[in-house]
């Protein structure tokens, strides 16, 4: 298998990790699921500055930029990797730069804000209003290879749509368009 990144981008609670779990079973080959949160959770808890301080923001920026390079490294060695991200415009720019040599299928994971709010409340493990704040920022660039609405489709159906897209189209173009 040649290297490939499937970049799932959407607000918190939009359903990215649920889709990633289903994708592992339907994609051809042994893909890795590497969510951004997994990298955050690897960092020292005791030595990380307090959330909300400029020192924390600096560490977080380094973490996210490192995450992008982990994705590129896995793909450069010929692996398939599923990324789970909530992009900000400058992080998309960084992805476009560090993943420029890799095949990237860019997937917008959408969910209407009222349903995001409902899920957030039901989970209880995310700050109230987080998803609503992230939604317009994450999708500001407005271009994807493929988009799915998780208020309409189950995680399994979204995974099947993504797998079919990859199987049928061969090449993904969104990253090339966004790099111009």
Ligand X SMILES: Nc1ncnc2c1ncn2[C@@H]1O[C@H](COP(=O)(O)OP(=O)(O)OP(=O)(O)O)[C@@H](O)[C@H]1O
Chain residues 54-93 in contact with ligand X, contact rule CB under 6 A = 84
Alpha-carbon separation of residue 63 from 50, 101, 132, 155, 157 (angstroms):
15, 21, 23, 28, 32
Q: What does the alpha-carbon distance between residue 174 and residue 105 come to, in Å, rounded to a whole number?
A: 8
Nearer to ligand X, 16 or 68 (CB): 16
Structure tokens at 6: 């499937």
Q: Which of 119, 141, 172, 175 binds ligand X (CB under 6 A)?
A: 119
Q: Which of 123, 133, 173, 177 binds ligand X (CB under 6 A)?
A: 123
Closest CA to 149 of 115, 172, 98: 115
Part of the chain binding ligand X (CB under 6 A), chosen from 6-14, 43-51, 68-76, 161-169: 6-14
Nearer to ligand X, 2 or 121 (CB): 121
Q: Enumerate residues 6+ apart whose C-beta is below 8 A from 138.
A: 9, 10, 11, 86, 87, 88
Q: What does the alpha-carbon distance between residue 82 and residue 19 come to, in Å, rounded to a whole number?
A: 10
SS3 (DSSP) at 92: helix
Part of the chain binding ligand X (CB under 6 A), chosen from 11-19, 46-54, 60-68, 98-106: 11-19
Nearer to ligand X, 23 or 174 (CB): 23
Write down the least CB distance from residue 71 to ligand X, Å.
16
Contact call for residue 108 and ligand X (CB under 6 A): no
CA 95 to chain centre: 11
Chain residues 126-155 in contact with ligand X, contact rule CB under 6 A = 126, 150, 154-155
Closest CA to 9 of 99, 156, 151, 142: 142
Write down the least CB distance from residue 119 to ligand X, Å.
4
Query: What does the binding site for ligand X look like in residue numbers (CB under 6 A)?
Result: 10, 12-18, 37, 84, 119, 123, 126, 150, 154-155
């Amino acid at each position: 298998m040649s290297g490939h990144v499937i970049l799932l981008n959407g607000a918190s609670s939009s359903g990215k990790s649920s889709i990633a779990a289903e994708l592992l079973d339907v994609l051809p080959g042994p893909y890795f699921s590497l969510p951004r949160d997994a990298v955050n959770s690897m960092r020292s808890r005791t030595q990380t500055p307090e959330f909300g301080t400029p020192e924390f923001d600096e560490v977080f920026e380094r973490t996210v930029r490192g995450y992008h390079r982990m994705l590129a490294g896995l793909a450069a060695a010929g692996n398939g990797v599923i990324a789970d991200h909530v992009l900000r415009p400058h992080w998309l720019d960084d992805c476009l730069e560090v993943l420029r040599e890799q095949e990237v299928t860019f997937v917008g994971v959408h969910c209407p804000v009222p349903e995001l709010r409902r899920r957030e409340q039901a989970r209880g493990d995310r700050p109230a209003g987080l998803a609503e704040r992230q939604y317009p920022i994450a999708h500001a660039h407005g271009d994807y290879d493929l988009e799915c609405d998780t208020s309409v489709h189950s995680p399994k159906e979204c995974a099947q749509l993504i797998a079919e897209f990859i199987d049928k189209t061969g090449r993904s173009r969104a990253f090339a368009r966004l790099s111009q």
